[in-house]
Amino acid sequence: MPLDGVYHKVKEGDTIKKLATRYRVTTEKIVGYALNNLQSAEDPLTPGAMLIVPDGDATPPTPPAVKPPSAPWRNRNFVWPAGGRLTQGFWLPAHPALDIGTYTGAPVWAADEGVVAAAGWSSYGYGNYVIVRHYDGFETLYAHLSRIDVSSGDAVGRGQQIGAVGSTGRSTGPHLHFEVNKGGRSYNPLLYLP
């Protein structure tokens, strides 16, 4: 983007006021950005349209110090799988992951030791991806990779490089899509990261 902020795809029910609250800016910032072609904060938004939220902050709120009872317990935290900044947070049902924005080719590390359950190309929009099955039943998924450094069945160590950040599959730019799953359910990775 040509400025700091968030590029948002309008969904049914979105209003300028809701977007301003979500991205922690004033409605005037959104309306005042010329490329949004808005006259006032009361203008209806068309689902599927793209809006720029200048100075918008998509970083999710800090998670609670105590894991909610619905989240399965782990005996230790995962390590961060990539360096960078959060460009999209976890929200169900549409985005069961964190997106970590950084440069193409940046290293991607296994969040904990385990065995590679899958590595390859996904036709579901992940592009190049890796799934690591951890010994306590958790699985972590790493998507949109530019390169995969492991194969299915490989044992990997905590913090071992397993690939490189890219923009493959359905992606709007270089970032790592990182999921934490257990028992067929997705959980907010921030609950398990230091």
Question: pLDDT (tens digit, 9 = 90+) per residue, 79-113?
Answer: 999 999 999 999 888 899 999 999 999 999 999 99
| CB atoms near residue 89 (< 10 Å) | 16
Provide the pLDDT for residue 160.
Answer: 96
Q: Residue 166's beta-bridge partner residues? A: 175
Q: What is the mean pLDDT of residues 10-34?
A: 89
Q: What is the mean pLDDT of residues 73-81?
A: 92
Distance between CA atoms of 7 and 53, rounded to whole angstroms?
Answer: 6
Provide the pLDDT for residue 65.
Answer: 47
What does the buried/exposed string (b/e) look like for 26-57 if buried means 16 or more CB atoms within 10 Å of the residue's CB? Answer: ebebbbebeebebeeeeeebeeeeebbbbebe
Name the band, by pLDDT with cuts 50, 70 and 90, for residue 51: confident
Q: For tokens 């902020």, what's the residue?
A: 5
Which one-letter DSSP state was computed for residue 95?
B
User: In the predicted model, is pLDDT for residue 123 greater than 50?
Assistant: yes
Predicted structure pTM score = 0.65
Q: Residues 37, 40, 41, 45: what is their CA dihedral angle, to the nearest 10 degrees?
A: -40
Provide the pLDDT for residue 68.
Answer: 53
Domain ranges of the chain: 5-54, 85-191
Q: What are phi and psi of 190, to 5 degrees?
A: -65, -20
The CATH number given to 85-191 is 2.70.70.10
User: In the predicted model, is pLDDT for residue 8 greater than 70?
Assistant: yes
Q: Residue 33's beta-bridge partner residues? A: none
Q: Average pLDDT of the chain?
A: 89
The CATH number given to 5-54 is 3.10.350.10
Across the chain, where does the E strand assignment appear? 5-9, 50-54, 85-88, 98-101, 107-109, 114-122, 127-134, 138-148, 155-156, 161-165, 175-182, 185-187
Pairing outcome for strands 98-101 and 85-88: antiparallel
Q: Does residue 28 come out as left (phi exceeding 0), alpha (psi in the -120 to 50 range) or beta?
A: alpha
Provide the pLDDT for residue 61.
Answer: 57
Name the band, by pLDDT with cuts 50, 70 and 90, for residue 52: confident
Provide the pLDDT for residue 3.
Answer: 62
Question: pLDDT (tens digit, 9 = 90+) per residue, 127-178?
Answer: 999 999 999 999 999 999 999 999 999 999 999 999 999 999 999 899 999 9
Distance between the two ends of the chain, CA-based, in angstroms? 30
| Top-ranked range on mean pLDDT: pick from 38-47, 116-125, 139-148 | 139-148
Q: What is the mean pLDDT of residues 15-28?
A: 89
